[in-house]
Structure 1
């Protein structure tokens, strides 16, 4: 199965307007399209991410009776959070056939225009939800009749994080190599970076390139006793753990957090070959249900080091 374009990352919200306001204010995203489609069970907004080429952030919320999004929220205790990754494939029916051969059972979306499925190994239980569609319009969130944002954009008051790119989505999994092989065989993901097995006491990770996309895919697995990833897995299974954004200026990003009363945690800093880097997290309760990682690097490539490229095999 070939994925040649990641279109968006989508989160589900209980209060669409409040979530869009947060993303425009703290995150500096810019609204591009909005829709309200009770017939297809969704309200939503499509927001541009500064610096991201062709990838956007979407927020969806239930609309009308019998909304699948409301069922999703109910199944997750009413908690908002990451809903799916939207991607384009050259042949939707070929993608369906490949998934079914591997034991993945996709469901058809609105009038068969897209498919929805977890792309993780089915024997490991549900993982990150994906929505796939063929070439053409990318209306797979009930946004068939979306309205483009028009007129001058009123920038929110106060500083934003200064995001310059959506860098990667991170998934928790018990065995990073098992999942990396699965994604390679299923959709051609390429491993580009990995930590040594013993580099961290409680985790090991690797990063996969998604062909045709600037967004990468990280896999983290537990190590040692009482790993935070093990606890996450026990609660959530093979779910997305966090989403990572790059910021242009670390001090500006931290000032924006203070301005918006948004604390950070898990701060790290260091220097590699004389170039500084920093990273930190924002708790899901301050982002609408998604754990967000921010990072800054003084020179490209020092936060994700070239010395962690795996041997060519």
Structure 2
């Protein structure tokens, strides 16, 4: 790895790809409490909708749908990783510097044209899932921010009451390899590494904080051949496994799911230093293809 680090200004949005736009917008707004911002048609093979995630993360959420039979999104949606989480977009100070940092890390950036940044003051570059993305797509841009969303409180009825995007969880064969990569290229910092050999859970974790503080990245690696993480890797390869939201009121979140007839699984409770914590999952078949985890903690920071 090189010495250059991406100069990240913000994590702009998380994007997912689905076969139908309207049902996904309805789930995100009526269940998760996202705010709808706008809908747009693209000549690049998709129709998109921009939403805003509630809480303090100040992040957007994009939904993409193919707009014709030749759309590139059909390959993703019908493939091993789809439908569901498609990419993360982040703003950097300079696309040129980002390209140099990526090359220094031994990866050839995808889609970068230096003249775009020279002519327009902004450029776009990608880390491809098969080259530098470790199974996931990263969209990196410079220039004016695509989105500027101030934090807001979800005051909707029958919504989860999300207060933050806590983390994206990346399934990978090696938490050491991927964690070091995130630290050295993305400038993240490891804040937690699970002790032991993962025999009780079937996986090991490493959690990293982003430089902007908007969200964290969790790496889960299999601890045994029959681990659910290994089964995920066998079926899909390295990729994002789930997204985790923090909620401010546990009973409100559970009641919202019951109101919308959405079953939960994997419910667990725990305690750290006398303060309680709770978590649960929503299956991808109820969310548009992504595994959703949400949690509540009595005191900040005890859940990790």
Match of 1:93 among 81, 96, 99: 96
Q: Would you say how many aligned residue pairs link Structure 1 and Structure 2?
A: 284
Match of 1:20 among 17, 25, 31: 25
> Are 1:287 and 2:282 counterparts?
no
- Alignment partner, residue 102 of structure 1: 105
> What is the DSSP-based 3-state SS (H/G/I as helix, E as strand, rest coil) of the residue aligned with 2:158?
coil
For structure 1, the residue ranges without an aligned partner over 5 or more in a row are 140-154, 305-313
Match of 2:77 among 50, 73, 79: 73
- CA shift for structure 1 position 74: 4.0
TM-score (norm 1): 0.84
Cα distance change, pair 183–239 in 1 and its aligned pair in 2 (3 A): same
Bigger mean CA offset, 63-72 vs 48-57? 63-72
Structure 2 counterparts to residues 187-266 of structure 1, below 5 A: 187-198=186-197, 200-201=199-200, 202-266=202-266
- CA shift for structure 1 position 102: 2.9
- Alignment partner, residue 34 of structure 1: 39
- CA shift for structure 1 position 36: 1.7
- CA shift for structure 1 position 161: 1.0
> What is the DSSP-based 3-state SS (H/G/I as helix, E as strand, rest coil) of the residue aligned with 1:116?
strand
Structure 2 counterparts to residues 84-233 of structure 1, below 5 A: 84-108=87-111, 113-118=123-128, 122=132, 126-138=134-146, 158-198=157-197, 200-201=199-200, 202-233=202-233
- CA shift for structure 1 position 196: 0.3
- CA shift for structure 1 position 70: 2.8
C-alpha offsets along residues 97-135 of structure 1, whole Å, 9 cap, x if unaligned? 32233332332279954122247875xx84121100003
Match of 1:58 among 56, 62, 69: 62
- CA shift for structure 1 position 293: 0.6
Report the Cα distance in structure 1 between the residues aligned to 2:248 and 2:128, rounded to whole angstroms: 33
